[in-house]
Chains A and B, each alone.
Chain A
Amino acid sequence: MSEAFTTSTARNIFYGGTLFFLLVFLALTYQTEQSIPSRDRREMLADAKVVAGKKIWETNNCIGCHTLLGEGAYFAPELGNVVKRLGSEEAVKAFIKSRPPEGVPGRRSMPQFNFTDQQLDEIAAFLKYVSEINSAKWPPNIQG
């Protein structure tokens, strides 16, 4: 690189450029926070079941096999739209409840979590909430 372009010029461009783009990013973050209430269905969080359901989702590490809105692991189906795919919250609960404890021989198997009926209601309410988030028409079709 040429002599006129010194290390200290390069350093100053680094600090200036980084600071500039960091500030733009923070401004966009602020803008995002302002505009998401119309997309994120936060009113559904008023239902304590949804909040409890998220905790069950987390403390059983469901994300370790499944994706949720396309993020997570790729071993098992997308669950952001599972309530729509199976048709109802009831169907989702029935599926979770019916997993054989020893698995399905030779096939990828989901654990039997032995959830109580209340826990099943909660996890289903959480998945229903996620399915209502405006995800810009993703996934492309019902198969997720």
Chain B
Amino acid sequence: MQYKSQAVAKPYFVAAIALFVAQILFGLIMGLQYVWGDFLFPYIPFNVARMVHTNALIVWLLMGFMGATYYLIPEEAETELVSPKLALAMFWIFLVAAGLTVVGYLTVPYARLAAMTGNDLLPTMGREFLEQPTITKLGIVVVALAFLFNVTLTVLKGRKTAINTVLLIGLWGLAVLFLFSFVNPHNVVRDKFYWWWVVHLWVEGVWELVLGSILAFVLIKVTGVDREVIEKWLYVIITLTLVTGILGTGHHYYWIGTPEYWQLIGSIFSALEPIPFFAMTLFAFNMVNKRRREHPNKAATLWVLGTGVMAFLGAGVWGFLHTLSPVNYYTHGTQITAAHGHMAFYGAYVMVNLALISYAMPILRGRAANSNKSQVAEMWGFWLMTVSIVFITLFLTAAGILQVWLQRVSDNPLPFMVAQEQVSLFYWMREWTGVIFLIGLLVYIWSFFIPGEEKAA
């Protein structure tokens, strides 16, 4: 570790992985409820499990991004973090707020939680992914501001590189767009319209900037390729991202009451969104092929290449599958959407987080790379989780195609619940594959505890 203050990243990484476990456990609960309808009912209804599953995901990815930023900024800016103490204080505030929110979800009915937390004063709850009580949202804003203040000042006093500049643009964009979570018009069409400014402009906009810069950072470190080359790629990728992704928001404005010209704009621009993801794939493989050093951390390189491939498959290929409006007319809001959501989130944001953690964690623990044995276990975790998510996606896609056919296309459209029963075989297969995913995650965690002495940092 080159700078002492980089050490604040470590608790962020540990908490992120702990929340990842919680996310998967609640995913398995829901997956079981899909086929065993009253499992845990009425104690943990499906919607409660879903909030925990998706909010834990978002929070842990954000924790990972923050940890990554605290790790990467001092090295890029070549100076210590302005305030490691503030970074640590924010960690605890964020963790406690997230913990209390989950306890709230699980212990009181949602309507009571809304009443207890003063949702009436500023109603923001009860919208998908933005279920957090308004006070939790305000807490997130405070944490984000303190975080941005800390890292922005660090960059301002140090070296400015393409990597830290792009990262900061991504993070500021992330925080600014989150403010739209406080916009909740009575008018359902307008509510939905601005809701996507958080959700779509995050994952298909500013988060991709964060993804690109983390990927670029790890690639410089593990391949030793010239910064000049890597930074040029980075700018090309993020240009493609925003040029396609901003107007690509239109792929969510087909059927929510917005004007019909969005069908054309949304289809055209979102159909181009796979291009930046494909560029990332090429980027990762090209840089690794041109490597000038053999970094001892093979696992980190594997995660980086995996991100390149899986982000393209999940976001690019599975996104394209249902993004053209004539297709989306039939697939909108089905298991096809869920299939895409899983592989895209995993392939892009889970994997890039794990790539950085894989690279940084050994260094934070005082060695260049883990022992061979530990890396082998980590790679088992990689393959078990990645192959599982591929199969989960395939099973959900199969369920989705059947669902669309039975419920929306056939001559005698079946009611939703009847169609669901027809495809339950695929939900069982998804659930068993999910168990293998959990095993992969446990193997991954176990790899941290395998002693790693071999190479000093």
Q: Report yes or no: A36 in contact with B190, Cβ–Cβ below 8 A.
A: yes
CB < 8 Å neighbour of A143 from B253, B260, B407: B407
Chain A residues proximal to chain B, CB less than 8 Å: 1, 5-7, 10-11, 13-14, 17-18, 21-22, 24-25, 28-29, 31-33, 35-36, 39-40, 42, 45, 50-51, 54-55, 57-65, 67-78, 101-109, 111-113, 129-130, 133-136, 138-144
Residues from chain B with a CB closer than 8 A to the CB of A68 are: 188
- Please judge, given known A-B contacts A45-B186, A108-B33, whether A59 and B111 are in contact too, CB under 8 Å: yes
Q: Report yes or no: B46 in contact with A144, Cβ–Cβ below 8 A.
A: no
In the assembled complex, 18 residue pairs joining A and B whose CB atoms fall closer than 8 Å, in A order, are: A1-B229, A11-B235, A14-B239, A25-B249, A36-B258, A40-B189, A40-B190, A58-B123, A60-B111, A63-B126, A64-B45, A64-B48, A69-B257, A74-B333, A103-B37, A108-B417, A109-B38, A141-B408
Q: How many A-B residue pairs have CB under 8 A?
A: 225
- Please judge, given known A-B contacts A45-B186, A54-B188, whether A104 and B242 are in contact too, CB under 8 Å: no
Residues from chain A with a CB closer than 8 A to the CB of B162 are: 7, 11
Which of A54, A61, A69 has most B Cβ within 10 Å? A61
Q: Report yes or no: B193 in contact with A32, Cβ–Cβ below 8 A.
A: yes
Distance (Å) between the CB of B102 and the closest chain A CB?
14
Nearest residue (CB) in A for B193 is A32
Q: Report yes or no: B41 in contact with A109, Cβ–Cβ below 8 A.
A: yes
- Please judge, given known A-B contacts A36-B258, A138-B254, A143-B416, whether A58 and B41 are in contact too, CB under 8 Å: no
B231 on the interface (CB 8 Å rule)? yes
Q: Report yes or no: B408 in contact with A109, Cβ–Cβ below 8 A.
A: no
A42 to B337, CA, bound (A): 29
- Chain B: number of interface residues, binned into ranges: 35 or more
Q: Report yes or no: A42 in contact with B247, Cβ–Cβ below 8 A.
A: no
Residues from chain A with a CB closer than 8 A to the CB of B193 are: 29, 32
- Please judge, given known A-B contacts A67-B333, A108-B46, whether A1 and B232 are in contact too, CB under 8 Å: yes
Nearest residue (CB) in B for A58 is B126
CB < 8 Å neighbour of B242 from A18, A103, A105: A18
CB within 8 Å of A: which of B100-156? 110-111, 114-115, 119, 123, 125-128, 131
B238 on the interface (CB 8 Å rule)? yes
Nearest residue (CB) in B for A126 is B188
A11 to B7, CA, bound (A): 31
Q: Report yes or no: A63 in contact with B127, Cβ–Cβ below 8 A.
A: yes
B79 on the interface (CB 8 Å rule)? no
B255 on the interface (CB 8 Å rule)? yes
CB < 8 Å neighbour of B51 from A36, A61, A75: A61
B413 on the interface (CB 8 Å rule)? yes
A50 to B157, CA, bound (A): 53
Residues from chain B with a CB closer than 8 A to the CB of A134 are: 257
Given A7-B228, A55-B123, A101-B42: 4 more A-B contacts, CB < 8 Å:
A7-B235, A18-B239, A136-B254, A139-B255
Q: Report yes or no: A32 in contact with B254, Cβ–Cβ below 8 A.
A: no
B330 on the interface (CB 8 Å rule)? yes
B334 on the interface (CB 8 Å rule)? yes
Residues from chain A with a CB closer than 8 A to the CB of B260 are: 136
Q: Report yes or no: A7 in contact with B131, Cβ–Cβ below 8 A.
A: no
CB < 8 Å neighbour of B238 from A14, A45, A108: A14
Q: Report yes or no: B47 in contact with A61, Cβ–Cβ below 8 A.
A: yes
Q: Report yes or no: A61 in contact with B46, Cβ–Cβ below 8 A.
A: no
- Please judge, given known A-B contacts A54-B188, A59-B125, A133-B257, whether A28 and B265 are in contact too, CB under 8 Å: yes
A42 to B188, CA, bound (A): 9
A28 to B197, CA, bound (A): 14
Q: Report yes or no: B333 in contact with A45, Cβ–Cβ below 8 A.
A: no
A76 to B34, CA, bound (A): 10
Q: Report yes or no: A58 in contact with B330, Cβ–Cβ below 8 A.
A: no
CB < 8 Å neighbour of B110 from A22, A61, A73: A61
Nearest residue (CB) in A for B113 is A59
B332 on the interface (CB 8 Å rule)? yes
Q: Report yes or no: A63 in contact with B188, Cβ–Cβ below 8 A.
A: no
Which of A33, A63, A76, A101 has most B Cβ within 10 Å? A63
A40 to B239, CA, bound (A): 34
Distance (Å) between the CB of A123 and the closest chain B CB?
12
- Please judge, given known A-B contacts A54-B186, A59-B126, A130-B188, whether A135 and B255 are in contact too, CB under 8 Å: yes
Residues from chain A with a CB closer than 8 A to the CB of B262 are: 32
Residues from chain B with a CB closer than 8 A to the CB of A32 are: 193, 253, 258-259, 262
**Chain B 218-259 near chain A by CB (<8 Å), digits 1 or 0:** 000000000011011101101100110011010011111111
Distance (Å) between the CB of A70 and the closest chain B CB?
3
Q: Report yes or no: B128 in contact with A140, Cβ–Cβ below 8 A.
A: no
A13 to B242, CA, bound (A): 11
